[in-house]
Amino acid sequence: MQGTLDMMILRTLQWGPQHGHGIGVAIRASSEDVLQVEHGSLYPALHRLHKEGWIESEWRLSEHNQRARFYRLTAKGRRRLVAEESRWNRMVEAIRRVMRPAED
Amino acid sequence: MKFFDWASRRARSDRELEEEMRFHLNAETRLREDRGEPPEVARRNARRDFGNYVAVEEATRDMWGWNWLERAVQDVRLALRMLRKNPTFTALALAALALGIGGTTAMFSIVDSVLLKPLPFPHPSRLAMIWELPPHSSHHNVVQTQNFLDWRARNRSFEDVAAMFQFPFNLDESGEPVQLPGLRVTAGFFQILGTRPLLGRTIELQDDVPDTPWVAVLSYELWQRSFGGRRNIIGEKIAGPGNPFEVIGVMPPGFGVPAVPRVDVYIPMRIRPAEAVQDGRNYKVIARLRPGVSLAAAQQDMESISAQTADERPDIDALWSATVVPLMEQTVGDTRTILLVLLGAVFFVLLIACANVSNLLLMRASARRHEISVRIALGAGRWRLLHQLLTESLLLAGAGGSLGFLLAWVGVPALLHILPANFPLPRIAEIRVDGGVLVFSMLLSCACALIFGAFPALQLDRARVGEGLRQGGRPGSATNRRVHGTLVVTEVAMAMLLVVGAGLMLRSFMLLDAVNPGFRPERLLTFRMVLVPSDWKTFDELLAQRATLVAQMLKRIRTLPQVTSASSISFLPLSGSQSGSGYYRADRPAPRPGMLSGGDVSVVSDGYFRTMGIPILAGREFTEYDRAAPEVAILNETAARKNFPGENPVGKRMRVDWTGPAEVEIVGVAADTHHGSMDTAPDPCLFLPQSQRPAGWASLVVRIADDRGVIEAVKQQMHAVAPHQGIEEVQTMDSVLNDSLARPHLDAVIFAVFGGIALILACVGIYAVVSYSVAQRTREMGIRLALGATPTSILRHVLREGLVLCGGGIIIGLAAAAALTRYLASLLYAISPMDPLVCMGVTLLLGACGLAGCYFPARHATRVDPAAVLHEQ
């Protein structure tokens, strides 16, 4: 779903700067491998978010002393994440109501 | 600068993306190794999880966003890749375009320089020439001296009017004497043109007075050639005809009156007003209109002055009028027609080239149809695809156009270089392939790109995604074939039109070339000159000298072992000059003033007709005994028929106005010769003997048995008689004849080249389309063969398809030729613009070419292996 990957990236970056591989590993781990994203597809998304100004990047050394590009959430990105999450929650709520109307 | 900033930023982004992705793969591999996967497996799995590396790279780049420039660069790259992938296609298209654009550019540069650019003088539109009009005729006649004086004194339309008279200037400076093209001009000539001299001054009022020291103005070219470009030449005396001439000025390079042949020396005219009325008609007249005076007003002015002079001097001017012709029109004259026709012809060549390229592009486009459908399905915008197709067209046209411009840039000067110096094309020295022409050829290339890029782009609109995908890369629909067919028919039709034009020009030239000039030009040498008498007091003395000079030269020359016979004539046939006079039967009353009688007059030495190989039909020719009375003359056949219809003129008497009326006895009738031009009927001509009526112009004609050292030997004999006598030009009569046909010859050759290119392009077009159609239908052919069709029937089937296209083109081309060749009518000699022989010949030629174009692909079709084809499916 368009925007889902964006949200997951932004959410991952909430815990601090991370490089592309790290983000991919985090998404896999937190979804307990349910969401099988092709790792490559992270990059177009990362670069799009970067262009929108929601994340920024810098080159730093990784935990294994290799040069890596670390992404970090910007203030704008934080606002965006809040908006995305509330939109997401509304949608999940709506879907839940449709799926289980009896509980209401 | 911006572009470089952008480019370096782009390069860095590319590098960083690469590094980022590599890091990802390394990190993933390490992670998997830590989990215990063997290194090989870890690396493979990392790659697998990552997905398509290149696609990711592309997709990520797309996220950066593209500006128009980046898109353009991308399109150009793609286009270059496509062009490189099909070298045959690219080479064919480039060759066709280079020929088409190059030819059009070359013709345009000539049209631009000759027809479009204003003449190189200040306010050139106010320059005009004025001619006399003979009674009931629109022939532009040179002007009588007194008439010129009256025009100059009485007109109210012109700032000034000047007379010009061409004559060879005898220069005996150093070594061998020469005769240079000279022009006598009245004061005001240079002021009318408005060109400032490079050095010194030009001819002014005080120079144009009889019995004062002679002055001369030199051309830049003569100054450089014969005087080493010395600046101190001004004030020096040069050895002119009979007198020293003081050099007063040098004109800038390239100066000249456009309607007059090249001139090296300008000297003053020096009309004696008292004698002007007795002069003949000799002068060309140039004038500058007053500002604000229209051509029509000037024409009216001249007509009323002519009416006055006709009243005042009915004996010479009755019913004569005058006409004012703008100098530009005078210069360009009938050259306009042929230049525009040739430009039109080469433009058709270009259109054929465009049709060819368009066809090739279309074939490729349909071959790429599947690819394009896939790209549309994947979301590529139609605009984007259109852009890409147009980029490819523009790239092709740009490259073809550059090659074409180079072709013109090298070709035009090369062509001009091989033309003889006196080639009769006006403003030939001004022809340049310059910046303006470059702009033209670039615009032309863009226009071509739009023309041949349009069809594939329109096809794009039809490329319905589903259909393209369903066909599974098997292109070639009925619509496609219809478009190809239309293009080929158009191509063949245009080629037909051009080849008919070329055929007409060639046949016309061949007929002209086969015209019998009336004399035998082979082994005939000509020495063109005007006589330079040394010392004379009275006019009679001058005449006597002219007669003896020529007689003595001929006597010596005839003794040379290499020479069979020798004689002289005032103006060589086909050299562009002739004199005329009134003459009429002595036994009839003189014709009323204004009634034109007579015609050409040539003054020849004894033995002229024998030397030239002109048959004498009745009576005899001049001999060395025709000296004292009786005065004799010879008529050509036309003059004899005109003046003595049904009678034998020999022994009859005529009166000749030549210089005051005199009676002559006709002693012979000679066969007609072409004197003025090969393409007009011979004019009536009366021949007078040099011994009795000596002319100042006398070119020697020498028939030779042996050409070794003959020119030197003849010159030696001439100089023994007249040491200061220069020669204007030594030429064989064959080359005089060829020079007179040089223009129609070149016109026909250029047209034939265009026609040939058109024919080749059309053949390539037919060949390509039929081959393509066969290739598309390999499966159909295979099935037909499998079902029992014989190779012959397949051959017939394919041939029929090609020949239908070809035949359609030929019929349309013939119809177009019927509509358009009438513009050629004025250029054709002795044939009509729809000459049946040419039309039939060209139809057969094109039919044969079409057949050849179809035959090879058709034969290919019969060799399809049905088993292989069916297996493939």
Phi/psi of residue B129, each to 5°? -115, 150
Phi and psi at B338, nearest 5°, equal -65, -40
Q: Please tell me the predicted confidence (pLDDT) of residue B214.
A: 94
The minimal CB distance from B63 to the residues A24, A47, A66 is found for A47
Angle subtended by helix axes A4-13 and A20-30, to nearest 10: 100
User: Which chain B residues have a beta carbon less than 8 Å from that of A39?
Assistant: 24, 28, 49-51
Interface contact flag, A24 B53, Cβ < 8 Å = no
Cα gap B56→B756, rounded to integer Å: 54
For residue A90, the distance in angstroms to the closest alpha carbon of chain B comes to: 29
Pick from A41, A48, A69: CB nearest B16: A69
CATH architecture under which domain A4-103 falls: Orthogonal Bundle (1.10)
Does residue A86 belong to the interface with chain B, where contact is any CB pair within 8 Å?
Answer: no
Query: What is the pLDDT, as a whole number, of residue B242?
Result: 80
To the nearest whole angstrom, how far is the Cα of B465 from the nearest Cα of chain A? 25
Distance from CA of B472 to the nearest CA of A (A): 29
Cβ <8 Å between A40 and B56 = yes
For residue B102, the distance in angstroms to the closest alpha carbon of chain A comes to: 48
Are residues A67 and B52, on separate chains, in Cβ contact within 8 Å?
no
Residue B632 makes CB contacts below 8 A (sequence gap 6+) with B622, B626, B664, B665, B666, B667, B689, B692
The reported pLDDT for the residue numbered B252 is 96
Q: CB contact, 8 Å: B31 with chain A?
A: yes
Residues of A in contact with B19 (CB under 8 A): 67, 69
Instruction: Measure in Å the smallest separation between the Cα of A67 and chain B Cα atoms.
Output: 8
Best mutation target, B20, B22, B44, to test chain A (most A CBs within 10 A)? B20
Give the residue-averaged pLDDT of B823-849. 91
Render pLDDT for B267-300 as a digit per residue (tens, 0 to 9).
999 999 998 998 889 999 999 999 999 999 999 9
d(CA B803, CA B812): 14
Is pLDDT of B379 > 70?
A: no
CB within 8 Å: B51 and A40: yes
In the predicted structure, residue B713 carries a pLDDT above the cut 90: yes
* Residues of B in Cβ contact (< 8 Å) with A66: 23, 26-27
Pairwise CB contact (< 8 Å): B27 & A68: yes
B322 phi, psi to nearest 5 deg:
-140, 155
Domain boundaries, chain A: 4-103
- The sign of the dihedral angle between the CA atoms of B756, B757, B760, B766 is negative
- B53 to chain A: which residues are within 8 Å by CB? 40
- Report domain extents, chain B: 2-65, 68-122+334-474, 135-319, 476-517+737-873, 530-725
CA distance B141 to B836: 38
Contact B397, B449 (CB under 8 A): yes
Across the interface, do A44 and B55 touch by the CB < 8 Å criterion? no
CA distances from B600 to B203, B285, B389, B695 (A): 34, 22, 67, 14
pLDDT at B477 over 60: no
Q: How far does A95 lie from chain B, in Å, by closest CA? A: 30
Do the Cβ atoms of A67 and B23 come within 8 Å? yes
Q: Using omega within 30 degrees of 0 as the cis cutoff, is the peptide bond preceding A17 cis?
A: no
Q: What is the pLDDT of residue B381?
A: 62
Return the pLDDT at B615.
96
Percent of chain A residues topping a pLDDT of 70: 88
Cβ–Cβ gap B51/A64 under 8 Å = no
Name the minimum distance, in Å, from the CA of B368 to any CA of chain A.
29
Read off the amino acid at residue B712: E
Chain B residues touching residue A47 (CB < 8 angstroms): 17, 60, 63-64
Q: From edge to edge, which strands make up the β-sheet containing A55-61?
A: A18-19, A67-73, A55-61
Write the pLDDT tens digit of every residue in B636-664. Answer: 999 999 999 999 999 999 999 876 677 99
Residues of A in contact with B17 (CB under 8 A): 43, 47
The pair phi, psi for residue B247, each rounded to 5°, is: -75, 120
Question: CB–CB of B24 and A62 under 8 A?
Answer: no
Which residues 14-73 of chain A have a CB within 8 Å of chain B? 19-22, 24-25, 38-41, 43-44, 46-48, 51, 59, 62, 64, 66-69
* Predicted local confidence at residue B67, as pLDDT: 59
The DSSP bridge partners found for residue B324 are B130
Amino acid code (one letter) for B271: I
Res A28: pLDDT: 81
Average pLDDT of chain B to the nearest whole number: 88
What average pLDDT score do residues B60-69 get? 69
pLDDT at B618: 95
Q: Which residues from B are below 8 Å from A63, CB to CB?
A: none
CA distance B36 to chain A (A): 17
CB–CB of B422/B262 below 8 Å?
A: yes
What is the distance in angstroms between the Cα of A103 and the nearest Cα belonging to chain B?
41
- Please give the average per-residue pLDDT across B522-531, as a whole number: 94
* B20 to A64: CB separation less than 8 angstroms, yes or no: no
Question: Residue B473 has what pLDDT?
Answer: 43
Of B24, B60, B64, the CB nearest to A39: B24
Most confident of A24-33, B61-70, B276-285: B276-285
Of B850, B581, B575, B610, which is closest to residue B732 (Cα–Cα)?
B575
State yes or no: pLDDT of B98 exceeds 70.
yes
Residue A101 at interface with chain B, using a CB cutoff of 8 Å: no
Chain segment B589-609, per-residue pLDDT in tens: 888 776 778 889 999 999 999
Note the helical H segments in B419-470.
Answer: 435-462, 465-470
Interface size, chain A vs chain B, as Cβ–Cβ contacts under 8 Å: 72
Which three-class secondary structure string do you get for B563-619? EEEEEEECCCCCCCCCEEECEEECCCCCCCCCCCCCEEEEEECCCHHHHHCCCEEEE
Q: Is the pLDDT of residue B522 over 50?
A: yes
Residue from B223, B185, B183, B488 nearest B355 by CA: B488
Tell me the sheet residues that pair with B167. Answer: B182
Across the interface, whether the CB atoms of A20 and B24 are under 8 A apart is answered: yes
Please report, as a single letter, which amino acid is at residue B288: R
Chain A residues lying within 8 Å of B20, measured CB to CB: 19-20, 43, 68-69
Report the Cα–Cα distance between both ends of chain A, in Å, rounded. Answer: 27
> Residue B472: which pLDDT band, with cuts at 50, 70 and 90?
very low
In this prediction, residue B467 has a pLDDT band, given cuts at 50, 70 and 90, of: low
Cα of B437 to nearest chain A Cα, Å? 48
| Residue B33 in contact with partner chain A when CB distance is under 8 A | no
**Residue B630 or B867, more confident:** B630
- What amino acid is encoded at B779 in this protein? R
Among B195-204, B383-392, B702-711, which stretch is predicted with the lowest mean pLDDT? Answer: B383-392
Residue identified by tokens 């024998």 is B610
Please tell me the predicted confidence (pLDDT) of residue B846: 92
- B21·A43 Cβ contact <8 A: yes
CA angle B827/B832/B834 to nearest 5° reads 110
Whether B14 and chain A come into contact, CB under 8 Å, resolves to: no
Contact at CB, B23 and A19, closer than 8 angstroms:
yes
Instruction: Look at strands B215-218 and B244-250 and give their pairing.
Output: parallel
Minimal Cβ distance to B63: which of A20, A48, A64: A48
Mean pLDDT of B124-138: 93
DSSP bridge pairs for B245: B238
Q: Is the dihedral of CA B666, B668, B669, B672 positive or negative?
A: negative
Q: What is the mean pLDDT of residues B370-394?
A: 71
B27 lies within 8 A of chain A by CB: yes
CA A8 to chain centre: 2
Interface probe with A: pick from B24, B28, B58, B62, most Cβ of A within 10 Å: B24
A41 CB neighbours in chain B (<8 A) are 51, 56, 59
